[in-house]
A and B are shown apart, each in its own frame.
Chain A
Amino acid sequence: MQDLTQLTEQQRELMQSKDEHYTLNLGPTHPATHGIFQNILKMDGERIMDAEQTVGYIHRAFEKLAEHRPFYQITPITDRLNYCSSPINNIGWHLTVEKLLGVETPKRVDYLRIIIMELARISDHLICNSILGVDTGAFSGFLYVFQYREKIYEIYEEICGARLTTNIGRIGGFERDLSPAAVQKIKNFILEWPKVWNEFESLFNRNRIFLDRIKGVGPISADRALAYGFTGPNLRAAGVDYDVRVAKPYSSYNDFEFKIPVGYDGDTLDRYLVRNAEIWESYKLIKNAFENLPEGPYHADVPEFYLPPKQEVYKNMEALIYHFKIVMAEIDVPKGEVYHSVEGGNGELGFYLISDGGRTPYRLHFRRPSFIYYQAYPEMIRGSYLSDAILTMSSMNVIAGELDA
């Protein structure tokens, strides 16, 4: 046993030096991190001791921008938050403005919104889980299931003209009713989807290699998850059954019955299984909403915010004036302060809107779930291997657009 009082100066310095850790730079651009965010990992051999995160590579000043844009021009900004499920962001924003204005939308609008939001949720979870498979090396599931992401995008295209950044709907409802082509595409999707997702699940759910790779990886307890502001599938995987659609129903979600899948350990396996189960619940919601779609107007009566039909604009003075005022944003919005949240693909997406009575918001703040829960990443990966850290990040579904805004 070495006599510690007889150390040389150099030996003493070396022993006190804590810098025996190896620093590994994961990012900012890395094929396995989905988006641009940097992690400087301090590693002790193969195990990660700490991670220092840098975000903001795709910061586009949305909150400042929103103070200079009329309300209908903010919808394309919200597209680019969680761009894997942009209809949810769009509809969440429209719901916020409708809450401020006190507009009640007809049932048909609500049910159409549910169909589109749940399609977006399926698209988001599909991407997350299949890419989780790719990160473990399993490419086939991703390849076949992505064909159905295309089908969902074709449905959006029929409804609003765009595939990814949809700018779907208007304040008060939709710009046009479902076309026959859209109806047919939704019907086809409802018929074909179960077989596709069953095939994906059969490849992964009881796959020994996949389960070994993701069980016990990146766990977080329910208490720590709540302290870190987790919401959405990540929180439900930790065992807390909080879902904004049930806690504060919007857009007639309370007309439907659906389950909230909940996990136990909050590890990657639980997050994977919760997203799988949510896809099934979303599918049931789409089927129910589509089969029970009521007849009626496809938009609320808000002439000050909803563009009048073009034929009217050419004939009718009143419609012409409304059209002009809406497009040139000469409409003054009532003063008020509102916080509205929707259940996004990653959790509670909140919009805090303060209007001072002018044509643009005075302050608009986006409560972005990815930004808030990504802070927990170092705690979740402490002590695990690098490959586990990659899978943890993949299963957390951090979307760069929502992280930085």
Chain B
Amino acid sequence: MTHPEIVEKLKNQFGSDILEAYENYDMLNIHVPAYKIYSFLEYLKTDAELNFHFLTDLTAVHNPFDEGAEFLMVYHLHNMPKNIRIRIKASIPASNPSIDSIHQLWPSANWQERETFDFFGVNFIGHPNLIRIMNVDEMDYFPLQKQYPLEDATRQDKNDAMFGR
């Protein structure tokens, strides 16, 4: 299936929910509203012709200057038999950074969503165990958000006099 055929099929199914569809570096990108993400990904997975059965990657990007759409969820799907990849994007606002969990569609989304929660603070509705995965449980902020610097200025355990800068 070519990229225009895929976009047309999706537009027939979802109509105005396809906010944007464009290509970059040979990859088709589709932007959908966040509340539609589960049904959209389910359609991509279960439709016999599209058959995007494999979830390659799930992550987020923080764009603090996009008012109302600060967090961009990015899903990479892959159709192995036809060798087609696709990138799905969904924006969520910082005031309510919630999106449906897709672990029912792909169990591999479980830890990837936990990692995205750990780094960005995105809340995945319906996730069975949404707790931090990489960082310590006591951490009280979401480090990969752009407002936080690389190093934690409040840490007490590293003495600059001894470690130098």
Contacts and interface: CB of A to CB of B under 8 A. Distances in A.
B119 to A, nearest CB: 7
A375 B115 CA distance: 13
Nearest to A55: B133
A348 interface: yes
A247 B80 contact: yes
Interface stretch (A159-167, A194-202, A273-281, A334-342): A334-342
A242 interface: yes
A227 B119 CA distance: 24
B105 to A, nearest CB: 9
A290 to B, nearest CB: 29
Interface in B130-165: 132-135, 143-144, 150
B57 A367 contact: yes
B53 interface: yes
Given A350-B57, A367-B56, A229 B133 contact: no
A373 B87 CA distance: 21
A56 interface: yes
A319 to B, nearest CB: 31
A228 B57 CA distance: 11
Nearest to A341: B56
Interface string A355-366: 000000011010
Nearest to B57: A367
Contacts of B24: 336-338
A248 B112 CA distance: 24
Contacts of B27: 338-339
Given A56-B133, A337-B25, A227 B83 contact: no
Interface in B47-77: 53-57, 59, 61-62, 74, 76
Contact of B134 (A56, A337, A341, A362): A56
A240 B110 contact: no
Contacts of B133: 55-56
Contacts of B98: none
Q: For the complex, would chain A's binding face be called helix, strand, loop or mixed by DSSP majority? A: mixed
B113 to A, nearest CB: 11
Contacts of A190: none
Contacts of A373: 108
A67 B147 CA distance: 13
Contact of B55 (A67, A229, A248, A362): A229
A365 B111 contact: no
Given A65-B150, A240-B80, A372-B111, A229 B54 contact: yes
B107 interface: yes
B102 to A, nearest CB: 12
A229 B25 contact: no
Nearest to B112: A372
B106 interface: yes
Contacts of B56: 229, 341, 348, 350, 367
B53 A365 contact: no
A227 B106 contact: yes
> When A and B form their complex, which 9 residue pairs have the shortest distance between CB atoms, in order from nearest?
A229-B108, A56-B134, A59-B134, A367-B57, A365-B59, A338-B25, A363-B61, A228-B108, A68-B150
13 contacts: A55-B133, A56-B133, A63-B119, A226-B53, A229-B106, A337-B25, A350-B56, A352-B57, A352-B76, A354-B61, A363-B61, A367-B76, A374-B111
Given A228-B108, A229-B55, A247-B83, 9 more contacts: A64-B144, A226-B53, A227-B106, A227-B107, A336-B25, A337-B29, A338-B27, A375-B110, A375-B111
